[in-house]
Amino acid sequence: MKLCIPVIGEREMALIAEVFASGHLAQGPKVAEFERRVADHVGTRHAFATSSCTTALHLSLAAVGIGPGDEVLVADFTFPATGNVVVHQRAVPVLVDVDPVTFTMDVEDLRRKITPRSRAVIPVDTFGCPADMERITAVAAQFGLPVIEDAACALGATCGGRPCGTPGTLGCFSFHPRKVITTGEGGMIVTDDDELAERIKLLRNHGGVGETFWYRYEAAGFNYRLSDVLAAIGIAQMEKLDELLSRRRELAGRLGELLADLPTIRCPADPPWGRHIFQSYVVMLDESIDRDRLVADLREADIETTVGTYALHDQPYFQQAWGYAAGQLPHSHAAFRRSLTLPLYPQMADEDPAIVVAALRKAIALQQGE
């Protein structure tokens, strides 16, 4: 059983065919439509499609003016891209520990690490679980810091009744094949800030401003555009977003029920402040369980699992370049060592969660029986 399978059907193929027939393969009308659909869904004035969530985050940092020597506070338990984009701006990633239950940014650790050199905050909606954005934005506001929400996994999740990606200054989504909807590769920035929107529009397209017949280049921008081919897939995916979200929550609920009596596993759930969409179903294992051996044993049983994600401070680059030591951020370190992602995707049959849990129980029993 695969960890995740994208939901791709005839509608996606039909819209791709429209793009091929038009001859307009680069950024064009399909991108504009995809942007409108995402903006309408989350309720922002602006949305900008990008080539990935990584480029969306990088573009956001550039738009708010992050530069050499600036400190950017980053949730530590995340894919390395969240920290890498700070480095690409020649800024300093200040890694913040996470809450041990939700895996999202620890607000008190955030407050402790703000200095006069702090210039922005990047919380992460980990695995589709919303960060506590109300408290994070309140702390950031006290120090005049923009908040760039890494909502890569969280299209459709909510925090305090608001769609993820919207409580901060900017929100960034991913459309990688493991996300709730996909364009193959792709990302999106959403914002209500008109000035930042103009800056993003400029920087996304090489820094060029369209004249009558050519461009006038006002900045050293990037080519971070999405193609109409990929945007066509995104349009079709947005049409079934609500259905995909509902099925994910249904399957996550079933997995939680089946695992409820296992004392060696803690299951994910909605946080007090919001609604989880279970982009990934990530459990936390007891210290007595060898997670890596469990992954190997489950693959032998034809059940694909993997780590949750990475503790940046445990990675060689962040240690060598920025002086971090393994275990320095204890909750993120524990999550990196003990988290396990189980299969969850809308096409799973109703009986598949029971198959996954039976294999997991067997593998854990083998370890505990030794």
* CA distances for 226 relative to 81, 187, 230, 347, 367, angstroms: 18, 8, 7, 27, 47
Domains of the chain: 10-239 (3.40.640.10), 244-368 (3.90.1150.10)
**What was the pLDDT predicted at 370?**
59
- Separation CA 33–CA 236 (nearest Å): 11
Nearest Cα to Cα of residue 263 among 282, 289, 290, 281: 289
179 is catalytic: yes
pLDDT digits (tens, 9 = 90+) for 225-245: 999 999 999 999 999 999 999
pTM, rounded to two decimals: 0.97
Task: Write down the catalytic residue from 30, 113, 179, 362.
Answer: 179
pLDDT digits (tens, 9 = 90+) for 114-169: 999 999 999 999 999 999 999 999 999 999 999 999 999 999 999 999 999 999 99
